[in-house]
Amino acid sequence: MSGDLYFIDDLSSRERLDAGHQRPARLAVIGCPVAHSASPRMHQPALDEAGIDARYVKVEIRPGEVAEAFERMRRLGFIGCNVTVPHKFEALAACSAVDPGAREMGAVNTVRFEPGVIRGFNTDGPGFEAAVEEAFAIPLGGLAVLIAGAGGGAGGALAAHCARAGVRRLVLANRSLDKIEALARSIHHHHPGLPVETFELDDPGLAPAARGCGLLVNASSVGLKADDPSPLPAACFAAGQRVFDTIYQPPLTAFLAAAAAAGARTANGASMLLHQGVHAFRLWFPGSDPGPAMRRGLAAG
């Protein structure tokens, strides 16, 4: 264990996991990397305010370790966990039961441990929709939406949610076409009337398609590092667009900077983190109202 960051070996026993702490770790976010996650900053205040005897921790899990991590958490009496990149596909496969919405999205970002069951959900879509409406004061339904990085777990979830929310057009962009073409076929199966287009990120046809969209979204991990470029070229952005980055740390990515330079309105993923976290907390503790405590925790930094 290093600070408040744990690893899979720390899930070997309660003695190791909880050494030096009065309260047990019973909730977590898993990812790789995960040290940057702000999830504990919002979930811990909500637990404290509700009088729940539990810690929310960060656990760095390597690809291929998700099923083992879930089993160790279940044995240790964890209530649940959040799942971030790159584990949302692996988490889906590692669950013994999956909520129908998460199944359609093809990814799991929230897990609840029940007696004999590891149950998966996805709160990315509802969190994203609430964040877009909060940031831009406009409903998601009816917009033409482009999602960059749609081949990943978060991107696929957002695309599927956009389709259910009633967007009028969906443009999917990714480094390679194979994943997004399968996603487009799935969306067409569930929503046959929705126009769906697919582009590789270096396709010259992407820029005019992007400029015809009212909302551009980065759902990839490009931007997590300070020197990452924008996943979309500058020609994709236009004045008056709404541009949303699911990344919240760093708060200003090259994607958002390029959009702002073109005259677009921008928002980062901090509000999405908040809203998907509220949904997740209510899956673990039905009837709770964690929003105000979570918002204060994130604002406190």
Domain assignments of the chain as residue spans, ordered by start: 5-122, 125-271
For the record, the structure tokens of 1 come out as 């264990």
58 catalytically annotated: no
Ranges 121-125, 143-147, 263-267: which has the least confidence: 121-125
Burial of 144 (0-12, 13-18, 19+ CB in 10 A): middle
Do 161 and 128 touch, CB atoms closer than 8 A? yes
Total-model pTM: 0.88
Q: Is the pLDDT of residue 296 over 50?
A: yes
Please report, rounded to a whole number, the percentage of residues in the chain having pLDDT higher than 70.
99
How many angstroms separate the first and last alpha carbons of the chain?
22
Q: How confident is the model at residue 104 (pLDDT cuts 50, 70, 90)?
A: confident
Q: In what order do the strands lie in the sheet with 169-174?
A: 196-200, 169-174, 144-148, 215-218, 242-245, 265-267
Average pLDDT over residues 60-70: 98
What is the number of alpha carbons within 13 Å of residue 235 lying toward its C-beta?
Answer: 9
* Cα–Cα distance for residue pair 156/174, rounded to 1 Å: 11
Q: How confident is the model at residue 4 (pLDDT cuts 50, 70, 90)?
A: confident
- Catalytic, out of 58, 88, 179, 225: 88
- Mind listing the pLDDT tens digit for each residue in 122-136? 999 999 999 999 999
Q: How confident is the model at residue 2 (pLDDT cuts 50, 70, 90)?
A: very low
Burial of 208 (0-12, 13-18, 19+ CB in 10 A): exposed
Q: Which ranges of the chain does DSSP label H, i.e. alpha helix?
A: 14-18, 39-49, 66-75, 88-94, 100-105, 124-136, 153-165, 177-190, 206-211, 254-261, 270-284, 291-300
Domains 5-122 and 125-271 fall in the same CATH topology: yes
Q: Is the pLDDT of residue 287 over 90?
A: yes
Write the CATH number of the domain with boundaries 125-271.
Answer: 3.40.50.720
Structure-token match 């980062």, residue found: 268
- Mind listing the pLDDT tens digit for each residue in 170-208? 999 999 999 899 999 999 999 999 999 999 999 999 999
Average pLDDT over residues 159-173: 96
What is the number of alpha carbons within 13 Å of residue 265 lying toward its C-beta?
Answer: 12
Q: How confident is the model at residue 106 (pLDDT cuts 50, 70, 90)?
A: confident
Q: Domain 5-122 maps to which CATH number in 3.40.50.10860, 3.30.870.10, 3.80.30.20, 3.30.210.10?
A: 3.40.50.10860
pLDDT of residue 154: 84
Other Cβ atoms closer than 10 A to 175 = 15
Among 89, 123, 116, smallest CA distance to 283 is for: 123
